[in-house]
Structure 1
Amino acid sequence: MSRVVPALWPCGAAAPCSEPRKIHEVFFFLAIYCISVGTGGHKPSLESFGADQFDEDHPVERLHKMSFFNWWNSGLCCGLLLGVTVVVYVQDHVSWAAADLILTAVMALSILIFCLGRPRYRFRKPAGSPLTPLCRVAIAAFRKRRLAADQLHEAAKLDKGRQLFHTDKLRFLDKAAIVEAEKQSPWRLATVTEVEEMKLMINMIPIWITTLPFGICVAQSSTFFIKQSTTLDRSIAGGKFTIPPASTYALAAIGMIAAVVVYDKILVPFFRRVTGNERGINILPRIGIGMCFTALSMVVAAAVERKRLKSDSNSMSVFWLAPQFLIIGVGDGFALVGLQEYFYDQVPDSMRSLGIALYLSVIGAANFLSSLLITVVDRVTEKGGKSWFGKDLNSSRLDYFYLLLAGITTANLAVYAFVVSRYSYKNVRKTTVGVDDFYDADARNMA
């Protein structure tokens, strides 16, 4: 709108201008906030809704579900490729208004396709607030904190979700399931499954914390990596075409797509035959592999940046950045997709949208921590004589910062490995529940 409606032009009819008008700022930030609110609302819900279309009690659909997040992210990366190449080209060579109209049309088409498929979707039966059972467990365990865990209560059949096996960890929560009388209030007596769901959420806290350094490294690929590309020679085809800086991010998307395809089509079938594990590689080791690639990408980025500082960056090709983009893309293919699967699969069945939101919170919190780390490093190194972050990249020492991130990620890997070694995956009791029992058949025909 700011490019199409004359009244919203930053300078009106005059150009250039020193600063935008107030109404232009209002519309700009309103658009940015709408994107943030929309992403926060649709992304957790849509991703978990897509995975819910597979029946976990059906042997074939169960295997397909394990590949869902791989192909979901492949689709996202394909969209990203078009976004940082075609759309960016339109922005630079046609107009921002044309690019924004293209994106608006694509979103409108996607909403239309989504609505047309509504009669064929599977909808989970509403199960009330997913936080209520967790609160009941906490309150019941506190009320019976002085009792010795003996006979534990479990419902013969759950109204919603699946039963979980009892585990010996966090045993103080088991007190919530101690039977005191024949009839007890739900706020004084919880089932074993509800207790185990509470344990699952508590066990996620160390995993969430130890994946933050990975997120900090990922944040550099869309910030400092792009900034590096602006100082390098981006001309191709004999200087006839110049690659936009934002388009270099396509290399990370290519790396991620390649990693996902190799993982899903080669590694998973191979390890299924070798280990007998239906997943091939368990979720948490997969995330750890991705973290290793991420640490390696920081080391490579430091080496490339050191070469850039020592050479004439105007004659140094932007494709020197390709290794660090590709490696961090491969890391995303393992860790980022693994995090999505972990936070979807290991939360209680009624909290899967919230689980995907927890995954997104890792990336969001990591971006804040990245900014905080940069601020701290800037102030500390400035007191030491010269800041690592100068007025431009040529007066900065990003190579030192990348090595610092590599060191933090490597040290964190040791902590992560310890946490994973003590982690217990969700252990579901096998049932013969069919898809029509688990899903609301009437809801499929909702208009």
Structure 2
Amino acid sequence: MLLQSLLAQAHKFNLAVLNPERASGAEISESLAFSGIQKNLVTYLTSVLHESNVDAARNVSTWLGSCFFTPLVGAFLADTSWGRYWTVVIFISIKAVGMIALTVSACLPLLMDSSFNSSSIHRAMVYLGLYLIAVGSGGIKPCSSALGADQFDGADPAERVNKGSFFNWFFFSISLGSLLSSTVLVWVQGNVGWGVGFAIPTALTVFGLVVFVAGRRVYRYKKLEGSPLTGISQVVVAAVRNHNLTLPEDSSALHELPSPTEANCKTAHTCQFRFFDKAAILAPSSSGEKGAASTMSPWRLCTVSQVEELKILLRMFPVWASMVLFFAVTSQASSTFIEQGMAMDNRVGPFTVPPASLAIFHTISIIVGIPIYDAALVPLARRVIGDDRGLSQLRRLGVGLALSVAAMAYVALVEARRLAAARAGAGAMAIVWQAPSYAVLGAAEVFTTSGVLEFFYDQSPGGMKSLGTSLAHLAMAAGSYLNSGVLGGVAWATARGGAPGWIPDDLNEGHLDYFFWLMTALSVVNLLHFVHCSGRYRGNNTAS
């Protein structure tokens, strides 16, 4: 009996600890590969493809947006057909093909004449590789974190608490990969060559796939429950078709399955968004017929639980919308922050620091901040507030939004001072002045980026966990697209009539500080909106 008990505990440890660690270990390789492209991409586009500052910043933001938009497709396939494991395997393979294409595109100019650098063939190969990587990211981002969280038993109190820490350490793994890319890979790309700089993350992508596949026999796998998007669509269609029916005074008269199974947990009825309750009204002509409900089309009659799942997503929407502008702000670290660094003195003592390497302060802030948050702040908040998580999910997100306001205000002040010094002939401002903006933005991500992943996973209905995680990535995508749109709008509005605009190729002729102040003002409005909507938020009330 003792041996059997020990084996059971060892198996439980393997599921609850080692499996998430495998996911985190594979994520380090995947993150290093992704960040190895992302961190210095704006430099590659301006120096090798000779794009303008505005075009390069917009293209980086659009590509990042695509990397975080494709998870909707990956989540759909994971929940309906392939499962999370096979979705990750297939999409990592697609990403590896994109990495190879990008590496080949960087090596070909070495074999061709110098005019190849700016040729349409070179540009096409670069963007082919980039967007294959974006497609590959679509299966990895929503499924790797969700699969790791699946390894924890929600019915076990200890594992339920550990699941909250898992999201912190999963984000820590991403940040560790980002740290290595900000230092080693950026240096290799600038000093050895772009071909080698892209070949290293290509090899790491393949390595991450091998590590992930190695744990296939011991993962916990969730049973597929069909497309959550189909169920949501059925509720909307049924509610519209039943719009002329009158809602009963007693909600118990609405249609519900009599004995919900474990895979279809009953969800308590709520009065918010009552229009969609009409999807659960049994038409008078069939209400008296035995078994009539079971024979009706699901596009005409839905259960209360289906309706409530849609309501849960609708209640999360204001929080989701608040995250969009936050991720538009974090997009600056991969675009305008680096372009600002290119206009500064990048000598630090005897060293010459590539502008993209200043992102190391962003990453170090995350790597140091997560253990402090998890080991010190959470236990302190538990004692003070009484919440098992320490800070509630919404409080955590609010702190991150406030820090993002501080980061943008600081970088705007730095840019104003840099411009004043340049126009006064005082020489270039030292690049180390950028360090606090990266560090504060990293601290904001400690609270918000891992917090939003946990929020959408935790608050999503049981059959929509991959979709919930993809909603977090969709917020990142929308933020990047928003940033691209704002950059385009600013260029259009400020560069008319031959004016240099706010963000010209020579930043000393423009006003990048005005753009940073614009983002600061938008962030303040966004923070106020979040405070308002979080105070009215009611969480997931699924009763298993």
Structure-1 separation of matches of 2:491 and 2:103:
41
Cα gap change, 1:11 to 1:100, in 2 (>3 Å): closer
Structure-1 separation of matches of 2:506 and 2:275:
55
Aligned pair partner of 1:170 in 273, 278, 295: 273
Alignment check: 8 A CA contact 1:10 1:21 kept = no
SS of aligned partner of 1:160: coil
Alignment check: 8 A CA contact 2:408 2:520 kept = yes
Q: Which moved more, 1:188-197 or 1:108-117?
A: 188-197
Q: Give 2:316's aligned residue.
A: 204
1:177 to partner: Cα distance:
3.0
Aligned: 1:129 with 2:231: no
* Residues 100-142 of structure 1, C-alpha deviations (whole Å, 9 max, x = no match): 3322222222111111111110100111222232233223333
Structure-1 separation of matches of 2:304 and 2:105:
64
Cα gap change, 1:95 to 1:53, in 2 (>3 Å): same
Aligned: 1:304 with 2:433: no
SS of aligned partner of 1:311: helix
Q: Give 1:439's aligned residue.
A: none
Structure-1 separation of matches of 2:123 and 2:275:
54
Please tell me the residue identity of whatever aligns with 2:421: S
Structure-2 separation of matches of 1:13 and 1:196:
60
Please tell me the residue identity of whatever aligns with 1:257: I
Q: Give 1:444's aligned residue.
A: none
Aligned pair partner of 2:173 in 75, 97, 111: 75
1:308 to partner: Cα distance:
1.1
* Residues 366-392 of structure 1, C-alpha deviations (whole Å, 9 max, x = no match): 222212212222333346976222331
Q: Give 2:246's aligned residue.
A: 147
Aligned pair partner of 1:221 in 333, 337, 354: 333
Going by fraction, where is helix more abundant, 1 or 2? 2
Q: Give 2:148's aligned residue.
A: 50
Alignment check: 8 A CA contact 2:322 2:526 kept = yes
Q: Give 2:372's aligned residue.
A: 262
Aligned pair partner of 1:285 in 370, 395, 398: 395
RMSD: 2.5
Cα gap change, 1:55 to 1:403, in 2 (>3 Å): same
* Residues 51-86 of structure 1, C-alpha deviations (whole Å, 9 max, x = no match): 111111111111011112111111001001101111
Please tell me the residue identity of whatever aligns with 1:94: V
Aligned pair partner of 2:459 in 331, 346, 360: 346
Please tell me the residue identity of whatever aligns with 1:390: P
1:204 to partner: Cα distance:
2.6
Structure-1 separation of matches of 2:106 and 2:416:
48
Structure-1 separation of matches of 2:330 and 2:514:
17
Structure-2 separation of matches of 1:275 and 1:194:
34
Alignment check: 8 A CA contact 1:11 1:17 kept = no
Aligned pair partner of 2:446 in 322, 330, 333: 333
Aligned: 1:34 with 2:148: no
Query: Mind listing any 5+ residue stretches in structure 2 that lack a counterpart?
Result: 1-99
Aligned pair partner of 1:373 in 451, 461, 486: 486
> 4+ runs of 1 displaced by more than 6 Å?
1-8
Q: Which moved more, 1:180-189 or 1:262-271?
A: 180-189
Cα gap change, 1:107 to 1:7, in 2 (>3 Å): closer
1:28 to partner: Cα distance:
2.5
Structure-2 separation of matches of 1:7 and 1:297:
34
1:160 to partner: Cα distance:
0.9
SS of aligned partner of 1:9: helix
1:97 to partner: Cα distance:
2.9
Please tell me the residue identity of whatever aligns with 2:152: F
Structure-2 separation of matches of 1:418 and 1:176:
30
Please tell me the residue identity of whatever aligns with 2:135: V
Aligned: 1:107 with 2:220: no
Alignment check: 8 A CA contact 1:6 1:12 kept = no
Cα gap change, 1:11 to 1:271, in 2 (>3 Å): closer
Q: Give 1:445's aligned residue.
A: none
Structure-2 separation of matches of 1:189 and 1:70:
41
Structure-2 separation of matches of 1:58 and 1:310:
59
Structure-2 separation of matches of 1:125 and 1:353:
12
Query: Mind listing any 5+ residue stretches in structure 1 that lack a counterpart?
Result: 432-447
SS of aligned partner of 2:344: coil
1:270 to partner: Cα distance:
1.8
* Residues 18-72 of structure 1, C-alpha deviations (whole Å, 9 max, x = no match): 7445554443232112211111122112121111111111111110111121111
Alignment check: 8 A CA contact 2:418 2:428 kept = no
Structure-2 separation of matches of 1:102 and 1:192:
52
Structure-2 separation of matches of 1:411 and 1:190:
39
1:175 to partner: Cα distance:
3.0
* Residues 187-227 of structure 1, C-alpha deviations (whole Å, 9 max, x = no match): 24433222210101222332222322212211111111111
Alignment check: 8 A CA contact 2:142 2:470 kept = yes
Cα gap change, 1:245 to 1:8, in 2 (>3 Å): closer
Please tell me the residue identity of whatever aligns with 1:198: L
* Residues 258-286 of structure 1, C-alpha deviations (whole Å, 9 max, x = no match): 33222222222222222222222222221
Structure-2 separation of matches of 1:154 and 1:378:
54
* Residues 325-348 of structure 1, C-alpha deviations (whole Å, 9 max, x = no match): 111111111112222122222222
Structure-1 separation of matches of 2:389 and 2:119:
55
Q: Give 1:138's aligned residue.
A: 236
Please tell me the residue identity of whatever aligns with 2:192: V
Aligned: 1:244 with 2:342: no
Q: Give 2:540's aligned residue.
A: 426
